[in-house]
Structure 1
Amino acid sequence: EVGIDPLRDVEIIEGEIILADIEVLQNRADRLKKQAKTDKNAAAVLVLAEELLEYLADGNLARNFPKSDTDEYKQLNNEVRLLTGKEIMYGANVDEDGLVEDSEFVIKLKEHAAKNNCELIKLCAKIEEELVGLDDEEAAEFLSSLGVEESGLSQIIQKGFDKLGLMSYFTAGVKEVRAWTIRKNTTAPKAAAVIHNDFEKGFIRAEVIAYSDFIACGGEAKAKDAGKMRLEGKEYIVQDGDIMHFRFNV
């Protein structure tokens, strides 16, 4: 269609993936009908599949299905991996002024996102390109001059991590500081395994500095001097942003 209409474009894309889900789900329902004759579980899943087919046919996303927390839905979705059952995040590419003040297009997109329990993040591609060549301090000053606290790309990464149940911890050496991605509620030994399996097998303890303490003290050495480093054992649940050193014995 002619003309700029982001909401129309979103609805077209969502319509296409709804149709794809309906096709996959219908095929699964056809197989369930045969199994349901002798399998009570298959019969229960079939009932839900038929309800979900009607829900999708009305233009709804599977992620908003009222029975999405049931065992039958989880089993079904695990088998067919519904596209509309996944987390969704909308990104609106706006001009510089649009970063502070919402246009009519953005307002409509926000309403659509809210209806589907989704996030909408505004970003300006031109600004993101300019930020690439700046260091952290320069970037913060530049964004502040635009009335923005955080870049769109940074927001997308953080929101994406959150929706996927992910987080990061850091290891800091003399030459390198590195971030490691883990799932939320991961124990220290499992977090160590991301670096190397031997770290988990021979785990003794972890030396941990909270990110907020690391920043407030101005680095690892000063955080240690201030008594902010603590020793944690195998049951410790790693927190987002933790600075960690693992002690292990192979």
Structure 2
Amino acid sequence: MALNCGIVGLPNVGKSTIFQAITSAPAEAANFPFCTIEPNVGIVNVSDERMQKIADIIGPEKLIPTVVEFVDIAGLVKGASKGEGLGNQFLGNIRQVSAIVHVVRCFDDSNVIHVHGEVNPVDDIETINMELALADLEVVERKLSNLPKLMKNQNKEIASKAKVAQPILETLAKELAEGRSARTLGLSEEDMDVISDLNLITLKKVLYLCNVDEEGIFEDNDYVKAVQKFAADEGSLSMKICGKLESEIASLDTDEEKAEFMEAAGIETTGLATLTKAAYEMLGLRTYFTAGVKEVRAWTFRAGAKAPEAAGVIHSDFERGFIKAEIYHCEDLFTYGTEGKVKEAGKLRMEGKEYVVKDGDVIHFRFNV
């Protein structure tokens, strides 16, 4: 299960620079709008120090971390929902991702053109959010126009579902027309199930990523504070990153050079590590491990998953033929030093189908198909 995040924002806010830095993948970055047309895709390992600690004890031949997929989607502009700036193509790309990383320019630089002529991050956010809301409105209105026909369907189940959907869709249409995102409306799980087939962009979770200059890393400027307030009011996450600095770190060849550069710059971790972890948490994803002499591997699962579902992440046969799981937590391994001592301490146990997997569990599944 790979996490898939679309990087969006206005032109010239630093999306492609950040994408190139965090993925070390080539992405054209230039000082004019619509530099990115086709979406660039990069696969990034999720940094997890626990996996290395497990490996230090187990001594595997290789390590396989879990990954995040970042998609650099071209800059949206006002009117994108009506096709401005190849907007329909870009909006279609956004519909395919699991979550959105919305890059917002939070620095002053007269040498970098702003598409609106001035730096105003909240205005930039509202411009993008309005276009996404209007794109969703078109989808909702199309569904609403089909309801009268569905309500008359002789299949009672189809007719009943249409009647249930009507008030939800009408509420959505009203709010989207005002530029408000569907995720802010407090829809119930039942409501979400009714509209799940619409694949609304504004239902996706968002992380607002403030692109700051080097001074902005250590002290929040007024732009960052404005974005933080906007995100908090909306119930979304926000963080900051210095695209320029991340690019310089990414350009270095060795881990030693990167560590020296970061120490000189006064930072302990890269924006990449912080961003991937934040995105991971945003979608309610967790990690369990499989560990043996051949490999230590991290696996992504959704919080709250029971053992058979988590087993299915490895292969559907594991879920279908699940018998039980042999489990201990990685912290117990760190405490006792070996798997044998974990077992002696009574920390290794057998769990059945109702066990809810915890972040950091080390698991060996037993199955039969």
Q: TM-score, normalized by length of structure 1?
A: 0.81
Question: Residue 227 of structure 2 corresponds to which residue in structure 1?
Answer: 109
Question: Residue 137 of structure 2 corresponds to which residue in structure 1?
Answer: 22
For the residue of structure 1 that corresponds to 2:208, the secondary structure is strand
5+ residue gaps in structure 1?
Answer: none
For the residue of structure 2 that corresponds to 1:228, the secondary structure is coil
1:2-17 equivalent positions in 2, closer than 5 A: 2-17=117-132
Q: Does 1:162 align with 2:281?
A: yes
Note closer, same or farther for the CA distance 1:157–1:147 as it changes in structure 2 (3 Å cut): closer
Question: Residue 97 of structure 1 corresponds to which residue in structure 2?
Answer: 215
Q: Does 1:207 align with 2:326?
A: yes
- The CA distance in 2 between the partners of 1:78 and 1:203, in whole Å, is 29
**1:237 maps to amino acid:** V
- The CA distance in 2 between the partners of 1:63 and 1:47, in whole Å, is 17
Q: Does 1:234 align with 2:353?
A: yes
Q: Does 1:59 align with 2:179?
A: yes
1:159-198 equivalent positions in 2, closer than 5 A: 159-198=278-317
Q: TM-score, normalized by length of structure 2?
A: 0.57
Question: Residue 238 of structure 2 corresponds to which residue in structure 1?
Answer: 120
From the two aligned structures, give the one with the greater helix fraction.
1
- The CA distance in 2 between the partners of 1:75 and 1:246, in whole Å, is 32
Note closer, same or farther for the CA distance 1:95–1:230 as it changes in structure 2 (3 Å cut): farther
C-alpha contact 2:183 2:204 (8 A) present in aligned 1: yes
**1:63 maps to amino acid:** R
Ranked by relative contact order (alpha carbons within 8 Å, sequence separation 6 or more), the top structure is 2
**2:174 maps to amino acid:** E
5+ residue gaps in structure 2?
Answer: 1-115, 154-158
Which 10-residue stretch deviates more, 25-34 or 184-193?
A: 184-193
- The CA distance in 1 between the partners of 2:335 and 2:214, in whole Å, is 32
Which 10-residue stretch deviates more, 191-200 or 4-13?
A: 191-200
- The CA distance in 2 between the partners of 1:140 and 1:233, in whole Å, is 48
Q: Does 1:146 align with 2:266?
A: yes
Which 10-residue stretch deviates more, 51-60 or 95-104?
A: 95-104
C-alpha contact 2:165 2:195 (8 A) present in aligned 1: no
**2:140 maps to amino acid:** L
Question: Residue 134 of structure 1 corresponds to which residue in structure 2?
Answer: 255
Which 10-residue stretch deviates more, 193-202 or 203-212?
A: 193-202
Question: Residue 80 of structure 1 corresponds to which residue in structure 2?
Answer: 198
C-alpha contact 1:37 1:43 (8 A) present in aligned 2: no
Post-superposition Cα deviations, 1:52-107, rounded to whole Å, max 9, x if no partner, equal 211112221111124x1163x32442131211112111112223432331111111
Question: Residue 43 of structure 1 corresponds to which residue in structure 2?
Answer: 163
C-alpha contact 1:33 1:46 (8 A) present in aligned 2: no
* Alpha-carbon distance, 1:128 to partner: 3.9
For the residue of structure 2 that corresponds to 1:24, the secondary structure is helix
**2:276 maps to amino acid:** I
Note closer, same or farther for the CA distance 1:64–1:127 as it changes in structure 2 (3 Å cut): same
> How many residues matched?
245
